[in-house]
Amino acid sequence: MRSELFGTLPDGSPVHRWTLERGGVRVCVLTYGGIVQSVEAPGRQGRTAPVALGFEELDGYLRHPGPYFGALVGRYANRIAGGSFVLDGRTYHLARNNGPNALHGGERGFDKHVWDAEPAGAHGVRLSRVSPDGEEGYPGRLAVSATYTLDGAGALRIAYEATTDAPTVVNLTNHTYWNLAGVGTGSALGHELRIAASRITPVDGDGIPTGVYEDVAGTRFDFRAGRGAGPGYDHNYVLDKGVTAEPVEVAELCDPVSGRVLTVATTEPGLQLYTADHFAAELPFAPGDGIALETQRFPDSPRRTHFPAAVLRPGEVYASETVYGFAVR
């Protein structure tokens, strides 16, 4: 494990890159935005390739923040309809940065801050910051951390924790785009995908859940048996396992050419499948060049009381863990 200067923000703030290596896997994490800047994993015959979309320089993330490449997303990942929610009888107004809605924490969410960093054992780094009361409209002073660790099998474990001094809503995720054939090889939409979910939360034209649960059986959303990914997905999957105390495997992505396999295990009840259909022309990546698998509470949960709760109160601890495992088939 090592740390090095990666770049400097316009205000002079230094950004460091932490490199973790174990089990044949190398992961680089930035203190800016908690970004997973790169992941290298072996394929058949041990051939290693970069499998996470990212930029070689800090300027790339500053010029192209919209896709959230590799970012730690919060205070609330995904969308909140109308940029507002009611908690304990009080209405809170958020930044509307996605049409009429709030998205991924607002104009300056967790992905656009420099986090404090310290070693977490021999193979991990712990990032932390305090989100002040009222940041991007969210109530409560939130002390939050994200610990990135490579375990003995070379799996990347991301453990989130947060506490608050006032009732608030929290939903943290990682927004890495995966291409198991290797970055720069073209589309990832030929990958084979499996998701252990019998239902989704269908959305309206703005990407907001309609509030119902819809069975995937007999539809293009059914990945339970595994099949080619394809384009046109930006949807939350209702994981069959629900909320769990420990991470449970819920998804698998495989590139049949290189043999690389990515498994996703999580404590969370939802998984957002996004096939990067909306990458802008000025990006060095084309639509479909990566697939995001974002573990989460459901989008718009603060406004939907029948969705899994996303409320955190004083005296409670928000705890969430997601594990990205790497294998070869």
CB atoms under 10 Å from CB of 159, counted, come to 19
* Calpha distance 58→276 (Å, rounded): 21
Q: Which residues are catalytic?
A: 175, 294
Which parts of 89-203 are beta strand (E)? 90-93, 102-103, 116-119, 124-131, 142-150, 156-164, 168-169, 173-174, 177-178, 192-195, 197-201
Cis check for the bond before 75: say yes or no (omega within 30 of 0): yes
Residues constituting the chain: 329
- What would the two tokens of residue 156 be? 């990347």
φ/ψ of residue 60, rounded to 5: -60, -40
Which residue, chain included where needed, has tokens 């119902």?
Answer: 212
Taking the C-alpha atoms of residue 56 and residue 30, their distance in angstroms, rounded to an integer, is 11
Q: Amino acid letter at 245? A: A
Tell me how far the alpha carbon of residue 139 is from its chain's centroid: 22
Token pair 């002040």 in the structure block, residue: 132
How many other C-beta atoms lie within 10 A of the C-beta of residue 98? 18
User: CA 280, CA 158: separation in Å to the nearest integer?
Assistant: 29
Distance between CA 287 and CA 186 in Å, rounded?
9
Q: How far is CA 246 from CA 95, 286, 315, 324, in A?
A: 33, 36, 21, 14
